[in-house]
């Protein structure tokens, strides 16, 4: 089996323990490569290397313009290798090649955009109410950043963290998910090729409880940028608080996708399919609660169910496949258990509801696209993140009722609204408690637009101009330009 290497201090490295673990191909349901099983000692080596570059090393001496040039260079290298990296995520994660080609070709934009920002981090000269003082601010990088990423879109989600962190002048230790580490281990080598000094970008692989926890606890790590489950996010937040570390947490969702009777029905059906079946439902923004206004409820389902049922499943490497396997064996079990819970709680199974046994799915980890109707929003299937191709359909009468249902979850990551009424677009987008609202659309995201969660869906924002400030801290400098110190016991 192919053996991957970690990347520490500019060099490929095995784990200090000499241990490995298997990574699986979800389409075959079989292991295909070995990943180094890192430990706290590997985390320490990587953090020390990152810290040395941050605190006086070659990286800290670069001008912001030089940092920006390196970011743009790595963007070019990612563009060059996009096909190879996409194929790797198809193999290790079961992602569709149809989606990954687009995604990998888009990722360089993060490095171009934030590379451009690197030399536009300005402070301010402030007006002062105190005579004789010159007061200005500096925005300084926080230090070593831990980027802890999930398995669902490893390189895209990593880039949301890495590009602004590097542009800000931070250094980074990446901990990819144990379920999908391979693409990250190929990817980080591009930073060495681009000319980043050794130690600026490191990747340590292994399990959350070993490598992830050691990173969060390491005193030289000043910022944790995490995407994953709310459960792990909460744990990380608690640990980080003890050392007053700054966090960015992008957690799950239970996003409502709300269709009003006046909506363009065919567009909305397409939007509902994309919201729940894209990436086999394994996205934090999955539109997993479909709210249908009663007058169109039945007709909508008559259109939706056959399309969802006839989605082409099978080899994710084939460009015609529409629904691929789920990425992990554990995730397959989790989805099946949620289907069971929904049944027991009294939801009506309208489509799917089991593992896919189609010949084109082989021994892969496939679940049939699944639709439950008659869901009541208090049911667990409407409250908890499934992270799979399982849709809950909830009827509603009025705009007020739709809003109440939409906001009645602990999460607040995304929401879709389908209507032709401009006033309603504005009212709904103002009153829905979520970090993103899409109107007559679902799933748009860009390096230019802030992304993050309300409520339990997270803390902080990624993407957009503001994202770079997640990796900076502000210093206020007061220079006395000629006032005598005077009374030492009075605050100035
Ligand atoms: P997870 O949240 O446990 O893992 C995410 C990352 O955190 C991985 O790199 C993992 O190794 C790391 N980690 C785990 N425990 C840690 C600890 N104690 N300290 C530091 N890092 C730690 O998610 P997992 O187990 O892979 O998936 C479980 C569920 O999470 C999924 O079923 C899904 O519902 C949700 N999820 C949500 C994602 C999102 O984009 N919001 C992404 C992936 C999963
Ligand atoms: Mg895998």
Identify the pLDDT of residue 270: 98
- How much is the average pLDDT of 239-263? 97
Cβ atoms of 170 and 143 within 8 Å: the answer is: yes
178 lines ligand 1 (CB under 6 A): yes
Identify the pLDDT of residue 487: 82
Relative to the CA of 233, which ligand 1 atom is closest? Answer: 2
Query: What distance in angstroms lies between residue 22's CA and the mean position of ligand 2's atoms?
Result: 8
251 lines ligand 1 (CB under 6 A): yes
Relative to the CA of 206, which ligand 1 atom is closest? Answer: 11
Query: What distance in angstroms lies between residue 232's CA and the mean position of ligand 1's atoms?
Result: 6
- Is the pLDDT at 342 greater than 80, yes or no? yes
Nearest ligand to residue 212 Cα = 1
Main-chain dihedrals φ then ψ at residue 223, nearest 5 degrees: -145, 135
Structure confidence at residue 410 as a pLDDT band (50, 70, 90): very high
Identify the pLDDT of residue 490: 84
Relative to the CA of 328, which ligand 1 atom is closest? Answer: 26
Task: Give start-end residues of each CATH 3.40.309.10 domain in the chain.
Answer: 256-439
150 lines ligand 1 (CB under 6 A): yes
Relative to the CA of 207, which ligand 1 atom is closest? Answer: 11
286 lines ligand 1 (CB under 6 A): no
- How much is the average pLDDT of 250-274? 98
Query: What distance in angstroms lies between residue 465's CA and the mean position of ligand 2's atoms?
Result: 33
Q: Could you name the CATH architecture of 256-439?
A: 3-Layer(aba) Sandwich (3.40)
Identify the pLDDT of residue 488: 84
Structure confidence at residue 484 as a pLDDT band (50, 70, 90): confident
Positive/negative CA dihedral, 62, 65, 71, 73: negative
435 lines ligand 1 (CB under 6 A): no
Relative to the CA of 175, which ligand 1 atom is closest? Answer: 9
Q: Which CATH class is domain 2-251+457-476?
A: alpha beta
- Is the pLDDT at 483 greater than 80, yes or no? no
Query: What distance in angstroms lies between residue 190's CA and the mean position of ligand 1's atoms?
Result: 25
159 lines ligand 1 (CB under 6 A): no
Nearest ligand to residue 88 Cα = 2
Query: What distance in angstroms lies between residue 181's CA and the mean position of ligand 2's atoms?
Result: 7
Cβ atoms of 249 and 235 within 8 Å: the answer is: no
156 lines ligand 1 (CB under 6 A): no
467 lines ligand 1 (CB under 6 A): no
Identify the pLDDT of residue 408: 98
Identify the pLDDT of residue 381: 98
209 lines ligand 1 (CB under 6 A): yes
Query: What distance in angstroms lies between residue 93's CA and the mean position of ligand 1's atoms?
Result: 14
151 lines ligand 1 (CB under 6 A): yes
Name the residue at shortest CA distance from atom 28 of ligand 1.
Answer: 229
Nearest ligand to residue 28 Cα = 2
Task: Give start-end residues of each CATH 3.40.605.10 domain in the chain.
Answer: 2-251+457-476
Identify the pLDDT of residue 194: 98
- How much is the average pLDDT of 216-224? 98
At 297-340, the pLDDT tens digits run 999 999 999 999 999 999 999 999 999 999 999 999 999 999 99
Nearest ligand to residue 338 Cα = 1
Distance in angstroms (rounded) separating the CA atoms of residues 262 and 421: 8
At 460-482, the pLDDT tens digits run 999 999 999 999 999 999 999 98
Structure confidence at residue 220 as a pLDDT band (50, 70, 90): very high
Name the residue at shortest CA distance from atom 27 of ligand 1.
Answer: 229
Q: What average pLDDT does the structure give for the chain?
A: 97
Out of 183, 221, 228, give the residue to mutate to test ligand 1, the one with the largest number of ligand atoms within 8 Å of its CB.
228
Work out the percent of the chain whose per-residue pLDDT is above 90: 97
Q: What is the pTM of this model?
A: 0.97
At 70-101, the pLDDT tens digits run 999 999 999 999 999 999 999 999 999 999 99
Identify the pLDDT of residue 489: 87
At 131-147, the pLDDT tens digits run 899 999 999 999 999 99
Q: Which residues pair with 477 in a beta bridge?
A: 136
Residues catalogued as catalytic: 250, 284
């Amino acid at each position: 089996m192919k053996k991957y290497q970690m990347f520490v201090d500019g060099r490929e490295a095995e784990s200090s323990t000499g241990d490995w673990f298997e990574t699986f191909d979800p389409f075959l349901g079989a292991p295909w490569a070995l990943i180094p099983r890192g430990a706290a000692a590997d985390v320490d080596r990587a953090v020390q290397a990152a810290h040395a570059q941050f605190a006086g090393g070659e990286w800290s001496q670069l001008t912001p313009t030089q940092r920006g040039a390196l970011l743009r260079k790595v963007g070019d290298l990612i563009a060059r290798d996009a096909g190879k990296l996409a194929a790797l995520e198809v193999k290790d994660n079961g992602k569709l090649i149809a989606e990954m080609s687009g995604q990998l070709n888009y990722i360089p934009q993060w490095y171009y955009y934030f590379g451009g920002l690197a030399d536009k981090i300005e402070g301010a000269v402030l007006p002062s109410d105190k005579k004789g003082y010159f007061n200005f601010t500096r925005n300084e990088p926080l230090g070593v950043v831990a980027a802890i990423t999930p398995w669902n879109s490893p390189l895209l989600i990593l880039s949301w963290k890495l590009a602004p962190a590097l542009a800000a002048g931070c250094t980074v230790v990446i901990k990819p998910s144990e379920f999908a580490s391979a693409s990250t281990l190929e990817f980080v080598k591009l930073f060495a090729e681009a000319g980043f000094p050794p130690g600026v970008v490191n990747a340590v692989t292994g399990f959350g409880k070993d490598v992830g926890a050691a990173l969060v606890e390491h005193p030289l790590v000043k910022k944790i940028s995490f995407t994953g489950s709310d459960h792990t996010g909460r744990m990380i937040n608690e640990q980080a608080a003890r050392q007053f570390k700054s966090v960015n947490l992008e957690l799950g969702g239970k996003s409502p996708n709300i269709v009003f009777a006046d909506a363009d029905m065919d567009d909305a059906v397409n939007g509902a399919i994309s919201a729940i079946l894209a990436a086999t439902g394994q996205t934090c923004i999955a539109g997993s609660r479909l709210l249908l206004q009663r007058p169109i409820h039945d007709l909508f389902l008559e259109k939706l169910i056959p399309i969802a049922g006839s989605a082409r499943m099978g080899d994710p490497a084939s460009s015609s496949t529409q629904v691929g396997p789920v990425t992990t064996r554990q995730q397959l079990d989790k989805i099946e258990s949620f289907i069971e819970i929904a049944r027991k709680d009294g939801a009506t199974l309208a489509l799917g509801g089991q593992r896919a046994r189609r010949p084109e799915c082989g021994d892969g980890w496939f679940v049939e696209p699944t639709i439950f109707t008659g869901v009541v929003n208090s049911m667990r299937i409407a409250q908890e993140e499934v992270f799979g191709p399982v849709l809950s359909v909830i009827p509603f009468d009025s705009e007020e009722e739709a809003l109440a249902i939409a906001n009645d979850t602990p999460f607040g990551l995304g929401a879709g609204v389908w209507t032709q009424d401009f006033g309603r677009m504005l009212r709904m987008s103002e009153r829905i408690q979520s970090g993103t609202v899409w109107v007559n659309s679902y799933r748009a995201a860009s390096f230019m637009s802030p992304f993050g969660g309300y409520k339990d869906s997270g803390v902080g924002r990624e993407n957009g101009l503001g994202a770079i400030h997640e990796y900076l801290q502000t210093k206020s400098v007061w220079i006395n330009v000629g006032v005598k110190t005077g009374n030492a016991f009075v605050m100035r």
